[in-house]
Structures are given as structure tokens and as C-alpha cells.
Homo-oligomer: A and B are copies of this chain.
Amino acid sequence: MKILIIGLGIIGGGYAMALKEAGYTKVYGVDKNPDTLYKAKKLGIIKEGFTNEDEIISHVDLVVLAIYPNLVKDFIVRNKEKFKENAIITDVTGIKELFIHDIIEILPEDIDFVFAHPMAGREKKGIDYATNEVFKGANFLIIKTEKNKEENLKLIEKLAYEMGFKHIKRTSPQFHDEMIAFTSQLPHVLAVALINSDIEGRNTGEFIGDSYRDLTRIANMNEKLWSLLFLGNKENLLKVMNRFEKEFDEIKKSIEEDDEEKLQELFIKSTKRREKL
């Protein structure tokens, strides 16, 4: 199987590493940055690199789109007539509703797009930080559409296991985006708001324990990618932000009113939920 990865950044590069480790030898890469291609070749994780897909696209069986969310649809529009017969496409994008319906509308019958979301990242960008270590034991979501062929879903699932992912789950685009707003986007909102609410110039670092360190780790983020993810999933994100605010206000009210019993109740609830996780 010939595999082409579009975008050799932190995730695309990680995929190339994982595929190499899993024994795949015919992996090709596209990246607009020649330096990145040079590095990928030197690492031995791609067989050949290209600064655009024109030359290689019609020769590969599987295309992995590891590019920004706003570029996914453009890529399909540009290449829909060029894919190899019965080619499979997959992606790594954190939101799906933004493009999934448009894409399944315009794809030729024989081309199957198995939308996917590897739930593993890093607070960095670029191939220099890419690693397949983060995939090991992580969650992997497949966002199924009515057009997907069972054999292709199975192929991507097999690939995910081979790359080290542990829990693989099929879900719908709508439910995916709703859940992701809560489990991934809202935590990023909280991390950013937390660290941005600090008062500058007071050596906060000397007063922290693990909690502040853990909660702000993800405040280090790729601003271009995350603003696209937030705005591309706007309605869902605002909904979970509102739900969060209600809980936050509940705690605030209990503190204002010295309501120890209510506070304990909220903490018992959160403890139970965390233990169940």
C-alpha cells in the first residue's frame, strides 16, 4: 500500500514515524517547506518528498491529510478527479462539521474518505517536535459517514492500532464535534483564561504546585490552528462554555454565602466523576 501524508508537521510527521515503526515502507510526504521534506527523508520516515501533491497524488492508495482545518475542503476540491481509483482518504482534524458534508457531497463514488481524529497532540508545531510516542495508548475516533465502506473503516482502524492507538471508537460528525468542544476545546479555553488572568511581574513560578503546571500546560498553543478550531465549532463551544459558567457560578455563590455544605456537595460530585473517568 502506497501512503501519502499531506503536511509533515507535528501530527503528519508523527504519523510518518508511527507508520515506519509499524513496518510500512512506501510512505510519501508533501510539505510546502523543502526543509521539512529534507528532515523527513533524513529521518527515513518518507520514501520521497514533494512540495505539492500534483505529481504523486494519482499513484497512492491512501492519502492522509494532516493540514489545517480550513485547507481540507480545498484539497479535495482541487484533487477530486486526480485520486487513484478506489483510493482512501483520511484526516486528523479536530473538528468535522466544518467540511464533512461538503466533502462527501463532491467526492467521486469510488473514493472513500474515512474521517478520523487521533486524540493526541503536543503543545508545539513542526516536524522537529513530531513523535509517535504520544499516540501510544491514546484514543482514536473515526467519524463515520453513510458513504463509508466497512472494509475501509476496518483498514483505518487496523492502521490506528498498528500506530499505537489503544481505544478506537466510531462516532457521528455531530456527536464528535459536540464532545470535542467539551473534552478538548473547553479545557484550552480554561487554560488560556487562567494564565492570562495572572498579574504580571510577581514570580508566579515560585508559588505553584502541580495543579497550576498541569492546568496551564495546554495554554502553550498554535494560535492559528486553535482559532480555526474554535471558530469552526463555534456553536458547540459556546454551549459548553455556558454550561461551565453555570457550574463556576454555583461554586462562586457557595463561597460568597459561606455555604460549606454545598461546596462539599460539589466536590463530592466532582470526585465521583473523576474516579469514574
| A residues in contact (CB < 8 Å) with B | 119-121, 123, 134, 138-139, 141, 167, 169, 171, 176, 179-180, 182-184, 186-199, 202, 204-224, 226-228, 230-231, 234, 237-238, 240-241, 243-248, 250-252, 255-256, 258, 260, 263-264, 266-271, 273-275, 277
Question: Which B residue sits closest to A203, measured CB to CB?
Answer: B169
Q: How far is the CA of A206 from the CA of B271 in the complex (A)?
A: 19
Number of copies: 2
Question: Which B residue sits closest to A218, measured CB to CB?
Answer: B211
Q: How far is the CA of A118 from the CA of B238 in the complex (A)?
A: 38
Are A189 and B274 in touch, CB under 8 angstroms?
no
Are B205 and A187 in touch, CB under 8 angstroms?
no
Question: Which B residue sits closest to A122, measured CB to CB?
Answer: B210
List of B residues within 8 angstroms of A194 by Cβ: 186-187, 190, 244, 247
Among A134, A224, A271, max chain B CB count under 10 A is at: A271
List of B residues within 8 angstroms of A267 by Cβ: 192, 221-223, 226-227
CB distance from A272 to the nearest CB of B (A): 9
Q: How far is the CA of A186 from the CA of B258 in the complex (A)?
A: 17
Question: A187 and B211 in contact (CB under 8 A), knowing A195-B274, A247-B193, A263-B223?
Answer: yes
CB distance from A216 to the nearest CB of B (A): 5
Interchain residue pairs A-B with the least CB separation, the first 5: A223-B267, A193-B247, A119-B209, A219-B270, A227-B263
List of B residues within 8 angstroms of A121 by Cβ: 209-210
Among A180, A244, A256, A268, max chain B CB count under 10 A is at: A244
Q: How far is the CA of A274 from the CA of B221 in the complex (A)?
A: 9
Q: Which of B183, B216, B251 contacts A207 (CB 8 A)?
A: B183
Among A141, A207, A248, max chain B CB count under 10 A is at: A207
CB distance from A185 to the nearest CB of B (A): 9
Question: Which B residue sits closest to A252, measured CB to CB?
Answer: B241
Among A213, A250, A260, A273, max chain B CB count under 10 A is at: A273
CB distance from A196 to the nearest CB of B (A): 5
Q: Which of B190, B216, B250, B252 contacts A274 (CB 8 A)?
A: B216
Are A255 and B237 in touch, CB under 8 angstroms?
yes
Among A141, A180, A187, max chain B CB count under 10 A is at: A187
List of B residues within 8 angstroms of A209 by Cβ: 119-121, 138-139, 183-184
List of B residues within 8 angstroms of A210 by Cβ: 120-121, 134
